[in-house]
Amino acid sequence: MTQPLMPKATAVWLIDNTSLTFDQIGAFCGLHTLEVQGIADGEVAMGIVGRDPITQGELTLEEINRCENDKKQRLGINKTDLTLTRKESSQRYTPLSKRQNRPDAIAWLIKYHPELSDAQICRLVGTTKPTVTSVKERTHWNMPNLKMMDPVTLGMCSQTNLDQEIQKAVKRLKNKQIRDDKAAELARKAAQEELDAAELARKAAQEESNIDLDNN
């Protein structure tokens, strides 16, 4: 099967934005399931920015939904020649007056939508991660003069774009919580198995000791 142009970056995006299984993501991206799990755990592909296969014409939303509803299905790459969708946030010209308000918009998003990732904020207002970080850590050079302003009101993004990013963020956090809960449950079971094994070993040793005493 043809693979996406950037397998690991695509896997990062699918992990963050869908409820597909690691097996499904691995099969589509040509990666081992354990490697996909490592990406989800932050042990592999650290620092790689997710690449949206939908806007790149490699997948359709319908195909993702089909496989999310049936975990036995495998994603099929979209072979139709699609004109790549230009992202509004990165392609739209922003007048200088509005560009000066970007830190204000960033501050607003950080306060009212903390679920958004830095990358999502960058897409919405057309900024860079260092700028988002400086506002978040309150080290921005103009921090004392920043006034939180809705990026939709400023015309930096549409309400539809903002809603879509929020939905993605909520879904990503939900998926992360599910993975964390599963990992915690596996750790609990492993710990219990160790305790059970230790208890069995203790009882076996005690029985052996009792037998030795009886023989004496």
Measure the CA–CA gap between 144 and 166, rounded to whole angstroms: 28
Would you write out the chain's pLDDT as a tens digit for each of its 216 residues? 578 888 888 998 898 788 888 999 999 999 998 888 888 777 777 667 788 888 888 898 889 989 988 889 999 888 654 444 434 434 444 444 456 788 999 999 999 999 999 889 988 888 888 889 999 999 998 899 999 999 888 888 888 888 989 998 888 888 888 888 888 888 888 888 888 888 888 888 888 777 766 666
* pTM of the model as a whole: 0.46
Measure the CA–CA gap between 143 and 73, rounded to whole angstroms: 50
Measure the CA–CA gap between 40 and 34, rounded to whole angstroms: 10
Residue 34, exposed/middle/buried by CB under 10 A (0-12, 13-18, 19+)?
exposed
Residue 53, exposed/middle/buried by CB under 10 A (0-12, 13-18, 19+)?
buried
